Amino acid sequence: MNRLDRAHVSERPNTSWMERAEQEAATRIFNCYLLETGSAKATIDRRARQLRLVLANSGVCLSGELEHVSEMGHHAYRFPLYEEHSGSDSLRPLSCKEVVTLILQELCAMHPAADVAVRCARLREQVDNSTAHIAAYLAHAAQPPRQHDLALVVAEQSLRCGHPLHPTPKSAQGFDDQALHTYAPELGASFRLHYWAVHRDELAEEWLMLGEQDAQLLPDEARVTASLLLGDAADDYALLPVHPWQSQYLQRENTEVRRMIGEQRFIPLGETGPLVYPTSSVRTVWSPEQGCFVKLPLHVRITNYIRVNTREQMARTMDAARICAAYRDELETGPLRLLMEVGYRSVNRDSLFAELAVVYRESPSALIEQGDSWFPVASLLEFDPCSREPLLSRCMSSSVRNRPLDWITRYAQVFLIPVLDVFARLGISLEAHVQNSLIRLDEEGLPVRCLIRDLEGISIDRRLAAEQGWIGNLLSADSPVLYGREAAFERLLYYGVTNHMGHVIATVARQSHVAERTLWQQVRHVLAAEAAQHAPFHAVVSALLEREALPAKANLTSQLLERGETPVYIAVPNLLCEREHV
């Protein structure tokens, strides 16, 4: 991070940015609560844009106005909200912190348990942590924009408020202020990785193609540093990149690591190599000079859980990558492309594997050559703190902004149809949520290409895998990527339809003032027209269009119950279903 970047974050967030961050927190928690309790219909008068919610546990009645009412739960509020006093016309304005407190108390009362108060306190800490970070990110975003040679870096690092239906989208417990300023993508971070020399006897790794991993993926500076420090013993060691924060954490906190260093099984080489840029996921960094992304473990609680890379996650990653590599030509039809994971490296000790496992992901040259036209979908949909518009709106020509139905048609053709088609033909369900998906826009702002990344989240229909001869050949029978067809389809529907299309349509509806149901109906027509031409695709589309409900993650409930890795799911109305439009 250069001096200019540090100047942007040296001042503490002022009151106005903290107030805005508290509004973002209250909006997310209120929307999560309404979605997960199914109380939105009884609470919100859509025509008048008024809300009135009686909290059964406390007896408090919350009321207020909305700026935007969303069919998929992405409501926007006019703050403050108010507490109605029983038997009186008087209203008491509530601070956003008071709103959050009331909702969390109500949620805790709905899930009684011996330790619910402790869990609620932990959740409140995470909410406060996330809110403080959002305030810092908004303050930074309000500074004059800096120039950057890599346009994709700017897009990756512009997701300042995060998941709109998550109670703590920017919590990062473990990062102090200094670490946040040094490593947070939202603050424009860039840094060099640390490298450890790991004795080859300790190594655990798997690659799609055996051979020249070190030569292809490791920077020259790291190899030179290792050669100078290790001398004739250099061939006995392999190099492992480690996030600088993780390297310091393990050497400070982990006695086994210190012992291994003392025995020269691990030899920390320090900071070396080119600058890398943290992406929107925080722990995955982009190294344009090396031509790859690196997914790094961080012993930091980011949103729901500590972000390390377990053996099961590595098995999922490599099994999914093996299938995708073998059938890449059949997967990448039309506008859809994948960012392929090419391998992982760690140490073969159960106590340290997850803390040191790194995944290498390809980085096609187009992300540099066409960087100003590629965007993580999540960053396109977030509303700018100054203009109060989504980045998507600023990427569109005036002509395209005036044709929201045409735009959503193109989006369905570029994203949704290919993702559903891959499942229909190959039984591969992509974890294509808005942060895992990149969209390329043309000069007018119309979608033309889609990239899906992070193959760990892929799930594969076990029956189709068996029919295609993958089991026993490319996959073991107990591979963690294998699911029953319905379970794989449910995951596809949540990530690709509820999460992804739901957020896209809610954003387009809010900026264009076209009803969400109208946009969903347009998507239905596009899917039905395409399905009429292809039999396997027709079966999948019919199953989608005939469902009255879609799966959705209950992120607020899941976080209270501390089920980040095994979240609670709920059902929400499927606005693609014709019966929903009657």
Q: What is the pLDDT of residue 56?
A: 87
* Mean pLDDT for all residues in the chain: 92
Report pLDDT digits (tens) over 215-252.
Answer: 678 899 999 999 999 999 999 999 999 999 999 999 99
Beta-bridge partner residues of 239: 197
pLDDT of 477 strictly over 80: yes
Instruction: Tell whether the model's pLDDT for residue 452 goes beyond 80.
Output: yes
List C-alpha distances in Å: 83 to 89, 323, 391.
11, 55, 34
- Better-scored residue on pLDDT, 146 or 311: 311
Scanning the structure block, which residue is given the tokens 């989240």? 457
Element (H, E) at 529: helix 516-531
| Residue 388, φ and ψ in degrees, nearest 5 | 60, 25
Given a contact cutoff of 8 angstroms between Cβ atoms, the answer to whether 288 and 150 are in contact is yes
Per-residue pLDDT of 86-101, as tens digits, reads 666 788 999 999 999 9
Backbone angles phi, psi at 341, to 5 degrees: -80, 130
CA–CA dist 278, 5 (Å, integer): 14
Tokens 């942590």 locate to 129
Does residue 417 surpass a pLDDT of 50?
yes
Mean pLDDT of all residues in 10-27: 80
> Residues 296-325: what's their mean pLDDT?
96
| Separation between Cα atoms, residue 523 and residue 506, nearest integer Å | 13
Helix axes 417-426, 535-546, angle to 10 degrees: 120
Joined together, the tokens standing for residue 62 give: 């919350």
> Each residue of 245-271: pLDDT tens digit?
999 999 999 999 999 999 999 999 999
**CB half-sphere exposure, 61, CA atoms < 13 A:** 13
| Least-confidence region, from 329-333, 387-391, 571-575 | 387-391
Q: Are strands 447-452 and 336-338 parallel, antiparallel or unpaired?
A: parallel
Supply the pTM of this predicted model: 0.94
Name every residue whose Cβ is closer than 8 Å to that of residue 271 and which is 6 or more positions away in sequence. Answer: 191, 192, 193, 194, 244
Residue pLDDT, tens place only, 62-76: 999 999 999 999 999
E strand residue ranges, 100-235: 172-173, 191-199, 203-207
pLDDT band at 579; cut points 50, 70, 90: low
C-alpha span between 110 and 561 (Å, rounded): 11
The answer, yes or no, to whether residue 123 has pLDDT greater than 50, is yes
Q: Is the pLDDT of residue 2 over 50?
A: no
Q: Return the CA Rg of the chain.
A: 24
Q: Which of 327-331, 370-374, 425-429, 576-580 is predicted least confidently?
A: 576-580
Share above pLDDT 70 across residues of the chain, in percent, rounded to a whole number: 95
> Could you give phi then psi for residue 2, rounded to 5 degrees?
-85, 180
